[in-house]
Chains A and B, each alone.
Chain A
Amino acid sequence: EAGVAQSPRYKIIEKRQSVAFWCNPISGHATLYWYQQILGQGPKLLIQFQNNGVVDDSQLPKDRFSAERLKGVDSTLKIQPAKLEDSAVYLCASTPRALNTEAFFGQGTRLTVV
């Protein structure tokens, strides 16, 4: 079974530029999460999708971050414009059902904003 795929693995951009990350969850997984993990901290949930609908985006900085999951499969997370404090690893995870199941994580995208 293929795992969660993310791209790119690494990205370096200047502040005020825009950037987009892509995630393809495990086939058939209905729930998809985007997490932000700053160095030395635990993953922080940004947004949760159930199929193609947003379930929770309370921690998403909506003035600069946006995410979509068209057709309920793969997803993109965009930052525009980026700030220095956005430097982090962006992790995508998926679960087959919304409740009581383990999350499968992708390798993540390491973003450096200079």
Chain B
Amino acid sequence: GQQVMQIPQYQHVQEGEDFTTYCNSSTTLSNIQWYKQRPGGHPVFLIQLVKSGEVKKQKRLTFQFGEAKKNSSLHITATQTTDVGTYFCAGPYSSASKIIFGSGTRLSIRP
């Protein structure tokens, strides 16, 4: 079946350090989405990537979609305490576009 794996599972960084999470799909994706879930909260949409090799930036966040459209990454520059949470990638599978979530990377930050 479809699988979306993310690494690392956890990352604990000093405030101001960079953070990267990687997402790998077992099948080619038409697009990939990224969500952030704060502790005790619900997933909130961050961005969607559609094109092969696409790179998008949102302030300190940089999102990349792989050339083969099977992997993606999220990089945060100079983390802040507000970045704490779990970051999920998610991809639509099949023509019905059911959205399958990755396992997530939980980011914690030392002030």
Contacts and interface: CB of A to CB of B under 8 A. Distances in A.
Interface in B31-48: 31, 33, 35, 41-45, 48
Given A42-B101, A42-B102, A107-B42, A100 B50 contact: yes
A106 B30 CA distance: 25
Contacts of A35: 101
A73 to B, nearest CB: 20
B103 A45 contact: no
B42 A91 contact: yes
A99 B98 CA distance: 9
Contacts of B101: 35, 42-45
A55 B88 contact: no
B42 A108 contact: yes
Interface string A87-114: 0000101000011101111111000000
Interface string B42-68: 111100101000000000000000000
A42, A50, A55, A99 — most chain B CB neighbours (10 Å)? A42
Contact of A45 (B6, B44, B99): B99
A106 B88 contact: no
Contacts of A56: 94, 96, 98
B82 interface: no
Interface residues of B, number: 26
A100 B103 contact: no
A100 B88 contact: no
A102 B35 CA distance: 9
A21 interface: no
Contacts of B4: 42
Interface of A: 33, 35, 41-45, 48, 50, 55-56, 91, 93, 98-100, 102-108
28 contacts: A33-B98, A33-B99, A42-B4, A43-B43, A43-B88, A44-B101, A45-B99, A45-B100, A50-B96, A55-B96, A56-B96, A91-B42, A91-B43, A93-B99, A98-B96, A99-B92, A100-B92, A102-B45, A103-B33, A103-B43, A103-B45, A103-B99, A104-B45, A105-B43, A105-B44, A106-B42, A107-B41, A108-B42
